[in-house]
Amino acid sequence: MTQATDAPWWQDGIIYQIYPRSFQDSTGSGVGDLRGIIQRLDHVKDLGVDAIWISPIYPSPMKDAGYDISDYDGVEPIFGTLEDFEALARATGDRGLKLLLDFVPSHSSDQHPWFQAARSSRDDPKRDWYVWRDPGPDGGPPSNWIAEFGGSAWEWDDATGQYYLHIYMTEQPALNWRNPDLRAEMYDIMRRWFDRGVDGFRVDAVEHLAPDDQCRDNPPNPDWRFEQGPARSLFRKFSSHQPAGFDAVHEMRAVADEYPDRALVGEAYGTLDEVMLYYGKDLKGFHLPFNFYLIEADWDPLAIADYIDTYEAALPEGGWPNWVMGNHDRDRVATRWGPDAARAAAMLLLTLRGTPTIYQGEELGMVNEAVPDHMIQDPWAINNPGTGLGRDPVRIPMPWDDSAGRGFTRGEPWLPLSTVPAARAQEDDPQSMLVLYRHLIWLRRQHAALRLGEYRRLHADAETLAYARGHGDEVLHVAINFTDRKQPLPFGGTPLFSTVPDRDLAEISKLAPHEGLLLRA
């Protein structure tokens, strides 16, 4: 029986990320939509997670897959209508699932009426809702800031004779979070979505809110490597993680706190010290500032063990940890670490202290898929050829069955179809990744020690990682073999579950290759 706790859902539960374009197409357009999500909600419920986070669904010219928003209050027609969203909110609630939306506050589309007004005249009331600057002393851009997709972060506007800031594409002008009217409007937008039944937001790219008002040059990064992309050739000293941005985060939290049981999850890439700042003074920032270490880490037990200890020590008093292993921007786990290691990695994610986030398809063992040149959608890949920075390979549609469109669509899919076994086939295969994820999530639900217990490192070397989770009188041990060879089991105990299919738990004396093992101490 599940061990009940009084912890809020965002501590006690698991978040599942849905990338709507690639989840389920209900119309035959080749692009996923809101009605498609409703059709597949039982898959999410049966997986055992507690909340879904949906990537942007707002009206958009789709220059950057919906992260260029032209109306914060509506639904992009390719995804459906507001009525479809309301049906989705009801369907998630009926299944006991929480619903989080992506909120993109750092920039809008250049087609948003706000920006159209702002660029019409220097005197327009919306002008200061965006970041405009005169040319630098040399007549060029005001600073050396580099856009995330490459090139200058400043774009010249002939009509009004100034540059505007864009942290991403030129079609994504940066909003000015120093303007009180802009902030007030964004908070009202949050309230309107809360009133529609949203349980929280994943707040996108918050490190870029309110960059340095003097637009000082960023210093060079002497350790920069080509494959990091051009934006990382500079340290973001003045363009990211600025004090006024943290003020905005506190104000967002105040809006969320106007409603019961709401949560804010923040996306901010930076150093560990920078990420910790997003918990906010007196924990009045984000409930969960995303912890991205595992999304970029090598499959190295010592390095991972050391980071876990460092992360736990860095948390502010009362701050709740979280772990992310994959998302719509980073390589698939099975591609980065290999399909065998991906099974052990699932145990790692689901037994560490903190709220886990699972990206759609990880429970199926999805991998990066090759995308032909004529199907490339991602501006990162288009603007930075040869860097391997394209994100399309991790946004491949979900494989639901073995029909022509793999159950995702009856039309032409917007990206190539996945090559991994379909969800339907995996349901009947006790050795499948889907069955593994379901069982690990079930175990997590059964044991409060796995959801809320303290973490204690027991052992780490070049081959294995072991740790304890304890809550009340219950103590569980986790041991993970990071190699393709048998390894000594660092301690005794009663084995409860192995990631190796058909493992005889009564006969375990060593860890099998790539094995994750859960034991009762």
Instruction: Name the CATH superfamily housing domain 113-165.
Output: Oligo-1,6-glucosidase; Domain 2 (3.90.400.10)
User: Could you give the CA distance from residue 132 to residue 159 in angstroms, rounded to a whole number?
Assistant: 13
Q: What is the pLDDT of residue 1?
A: 44
The domains of the chain are located at 9-106+180-442, 113-165, 454-520
Give the range among 49-58, 98-107, 377-386, 434-443 with minimum mean pLDDT: 377-386
User: Could you give the CA distance from residue 499 to residue 431 in angstroms, rounded to a whole number?
Assistant: 9
Query: Where does the pLDDT of residue 359 fall: very low under 50, low under 70, confident under 90, or very high at 90 and above?
Result: very high
Query: Each residue of 174-218: pLDDT tens digit?
Result: 999 999 999 999 999 999 999 999 999 999 999 999 999 999 999
Q: Is the pLDDT of residue 364 over 70?
A: yes
Q: Is the pLDDT of residue 2 over 70?
A: no
Q: Calculate what percentage of the chain has a pLDDT beyond 70.
A: 98
At 391, list the tokens.
């994100």
User: Could you give the CA distance from residue 105 to residue 205 in angstroms, rounded to a whole number?
Assistant: 8
Q: What is the pLDDT of residue 276?
A: 98
Q: What is the pLDDT of residue 300?
A: 99
CA-nearest of 323, 300, 169, 193 to 255 is 193
Q: Is the pLDDT of residue 471 over 50?
A: yes
Query: Each residue of 63-95: pLDDT tens digit?
Result: 999 999 999 999 999 999 999 999 999 999 999
Q: Is the pLDDT of residue 130 over 90?
A: yes
By the 8 A CB rule, do 66 and 76 touch? yes
Mean pLDDT, the chain, rounded, equals 97
Q: Is the pLDDT of residue 258 over 80?
A: yes
Q: Is 204 a catalytic residue?
A: yes
Question: CA separation (Å) from 106 to 27, 29, 201, 240?
Answer: 32, 30, 14, 11
Q: What is the mean pLDDT of residues 35-59?
A: 99
Q: What is the pLDDT of residue 3?
A: 61
Residues in the chain: 521
CATH topology of domain 454-520: Immunoglobulin-like (2.60.40)
Question: CA separation (Å) from 382 to 172, 369, 379, 491?
Answer: 16, 17, 5, 51
Q: What is the mean pLDDT of residues 336-356?
A: 98
Q: Is the dihedral of CA 340, 342, 346, 351 positive or negative?
A: positive
Q: What is the pLDDT of residue 382?
A: 82
Query: Where does the pLDDT of residue 389 fall: very low under 50, low under 70, confident under 90, or very high at 90 and above?
Result: low
CATH topology of domain 9-106+180-442: TIM Barrel (3.20.20)
CA-nearest of 251, 264, 290 to 101 is 264
Q: Of residues 83, 181, 258, 261, which has the active-site annotation?
A: 258
Q: What is the pLDDT of residue 226?
A: 86
Q: What is the pLDDT of residue 244?
A: 97
Query: Each residue of 392-444: pLDDT tens digit?
Result: 999 999 999 999 999 999 999 999 999 999 999 999 999 999 999 999 999 99
Query: Each residue of 318-327: pLDDT tens digit?
Result: 999 999 999 9
Q: Which residues in 315-349 are b (16+ Cβ under 10 Å) and which e?
A: beeebbbbbbbbbbbbbbbbbbbbeebbbbbbbbb
Read off the pTM. 0.96
Q: Is the pLDDT of residue 102 over 80?
A: yes
Q: Is 6 a catalytic residue?
A: no
By the 8 A CB rule, do 174 and 106 touch? yes
Q: What is the mean pLDDT of residues 321-334?
A: 97
Query: Where does the pLDDT of residue 4 fall: very low under 50, low under 70, confident under 90, or very high at 90 and above?
Result: low
User: Could you give the CA distance from residue 455 to residue 125 in angstroms, rounded to a whole number?
Assistant: 53
Q: Of residues 204, 267, 362, 378, which has the active-site annotation?
A: 204
Query: Each residue of 215-254: pLDDT tens digit?
Result: 999 999 999 998 888 999 999 999 999 999 999 999 999 9
Spatial neighbors of 389 by CB under 8 A, at least 6 apart, are 227, 229, 380, 381
